[in-house]
A and B are shown apart, each in its own frame.
Chain A
Amino acid sequence: MRLAGLHKIYSSGHAPYVALDGVDIVISKGEFFCLLGPSGCGKSTLLNILAGFEPASGGSVTSGDVAVTRAGRERVMFFQDAGSALFPWLTVEENVRFGLRVRKVPRQERDTIVAKYLQMVSLDRHRDKFPSELSGGMRQRLQIARALAVEPEILLMDEPFGALDALTRRRMHAVLLAIWQHTGKTVVFVTHDIGEAILLGDRIGMMSAGPRSTITKVIEIDRPRPRDPTDPQLARLFHEIEALLAPDLDRSEHLDHEPAE
């Protein structure tokens, strides 16, 4: 996946707002790429453009050799708010089946695929439950199964575990890494949690705070997985990234609190 000179300008207010200003990245197939930055830096905007939900104002996004113009099942988005992303009137099984039903996949093949991915996220025992009967972690696992069932090439994840408690989040990291290693999908993972990015990513793209955000630095992490959060090398990296982000964090904090002062 290649992003070149990507711009995004919102012109709805009285002054046009430049959200993204010249983003260039190349994400290779099978890579786990984290986008890290302070809140409001345009990470989600960038991900929406990658998914094809929003058009870029300038620059290009290509996936393979094809320009991304609209959303499609080769790039599946994974949302933080599972409550509104899932189909609450469908059971676990029916949620996973949705992407196959809209493509009119034959019944038998459909059932095999659904069973396979439900098993992969260990939800096969809960197949007849409704999303409202699931815990937060189970809902996110259901989202993973539903996404994998359409056999995408890229998983786009927008702070997917941000709403989970710390323990569940740790478990979800393990689940996601296992699935990633098993299926060889490309993952673009947006987060504002440095620790999360370090534990998961092959590379971390650091974004500056908006407006006019861009990728300021790409950090490579070649530590073996599963990674230990107490690994001294990772700890050093954590501090390094924290120091890099500090000026931006101060800036975005300041902007956030200005009206309250």
Chain B
Amino acid sequence: MPPLRSLLPLSGLAKHALGAPPNRRAAVPGPAITSGNGSRRYRPLALAAASLLIAFAIWQLLSTFIFNPFLIPPPLEVIRTAIPMLMSGEILADVAISMQRVLVGFISGSLTGIVLGVLLGRIRIMHDLLDPIMELLRYLSPTAMIPIAVIWFGIGEMSKYFLIFWGTFFIVLVNTTAGVWRAPITRQRAAECLGANRLQIFVMVMIPSAVPYIVTGMRVAMASSFMSIIPAEILAADSGIGYLLQKSSLLLQTNRIFVALLTICILGFAVDRLFRFLVDRVLTRYMFYVAMI
């Protein structure tokens, strides 16, 4: 077995899938689930809401009575700052431009990572030749690449696309290779017995078997894209959430900094949920994981 580090066991998605095998009927809660214990279904949601409300309350109290409200503005103050920023469309414009950068980099990085990862998973010599290089390059986080990206591409859009691409590519690549590699030998042999040729086994068996790994890699890469777009925009941009952070910091506008930070939290969460929703919709049949075994 080659030294492949799959992110699969760490992923929340994998755990999610472990507990819930893809089951079309499960998507529609039957009467057996709703009758009698309807309250239990909403318990996680209620607890999540309670958790957030309590955290906000504690934050409000602490920054009103203990901490300097200039350094840690209380949540109500942050919301009061956010409303005009939302109304004027200022935040929306920054969110849009940051999202565009993330999406362009993420999609191009994922596609390249998948194509190359599939080849590395299949062609042994290619893996052996490229793996040492990947082993070294993957330590260069997107943040470490900002200075050179600015020189190569300027502070325009291209440098941000490149940085997000850089971060996404390696994660998706490693996971795709692992997924192809781990397509059960039993399944390949079964296909061989049924008369599939090598190309058919590759396309019709190994790649579908790798889908859960690829998706997990993409989900982790999406999170990492959100981590790297901010420093990129702080250091080299004139728009986006990161730029909003940087600008507010220079003007000592802590309220606005907190608005930007909250925006990042909400945006990241929303995009992850959207990603999961899309995967559930489009790729359900491929997300089998360990549920079968």
Given contacts A84-B293, A87-B208, contact A102 B197 (CB under 8 A): yes
Of the listed residues A85, A86, A131, A147, the one surrounded by the most CB atoms of chain B closer than 10 A to its CB is A85
**A167–B285 alpha-carbon span in the complex (Å):** 30
Given contacts A81-B186, A132-B23, contact A102 B195 (CB under 8 A): yes
0/1 interface trace, chain A 156-181, chain B, CB 8 Å (1 if under):
00000000000000000000000000
Q: Are A87 and B205 in contact (CB under 8 A)?
A: yes
The answer to whether the Cβ of A184 comes within 8 Å of any Cβ in the partner chain is no
**CB under 8 Å from chain B, chain A span 14-28:** none
How many residue pairs bridge A and B at CB < 8 Å? 87
The answer to whether the Cβ of A76 comes within 8 Å of any Cβ in the partner chain is yes
Given the complex, which residues of B lie within 8 Å of A72, measured CB to CB? Answer: 193, 195
**A84–B209 alpha-carbon span in the complex (Å):** 10
**A77–B22 alpha-carbon span in the complex (Å):** 27
Q: Are A79 and B192 in contact (CB under 8 A)?
A: no
Given contacts A73-B193, A146-B194, contact A85 B186 (CB under 8 A): yes
**A88–B204 alpha-carbon span in the complex (Å):** 12
**A85–B185 alpha-carbon span in the complex (Å):** 9
Which residue of chain A lies nearest to B197 when distances are taken between CB atoms in the complex? A102
A contact residues, range = 20 to 34
Q: Are A83 and B292 in contact (CB under 8 A)?
A: yes
Given the complex, which residues of A lie within 8 Å of B22, measured CB to CB? Answer: 130, 132
The answer to whether the Cβ of A51 comes within 8 Å of any Cβ in the partner chain is yes
- Measured CB to CB, the closest approach of chain B to A63, in angstroms, equals 13
Contact check: which of A81, A102, A103 meets B204 at CB < 8 Å? A102
Given the complex, which residues of A lie within 8 Å of B51, measured CB to CB? Answer: none
Contact check: which of A71, A79, A85, A132 meets B291 at CB < 8 Å? A132
**A71–B286 alpha-carbon span in the complex (Å):** 27
Q: Are A102 and B187 in contact (CB under 8 A)?
A: no
**A43–B189 alpha-carbon span in the complex (Å):** 17
Given the complex, which residues of A lie within 8 Å of B288, measured CB to CB? Answer: 88-89, 130, 132
- Measured CB to CB, the closest approach of chain A to B17, in angstroms, equals 10
- Measured CB to CB, the closest approach of chain A to B224, in angstroms, equals 27
Binding site for A on B (CB under 8 A): 21-24, 184, 186-187, 189-197, 200, 204-205, 208, 211, 285-286, 288, 291-293
The 9 closest A-B pairs by CB, nearest first: A99-B194, A84-B184, A83-B292, A88-B288, A73-B195, A83-B293, A71-B192, A102-B196, A89-B285
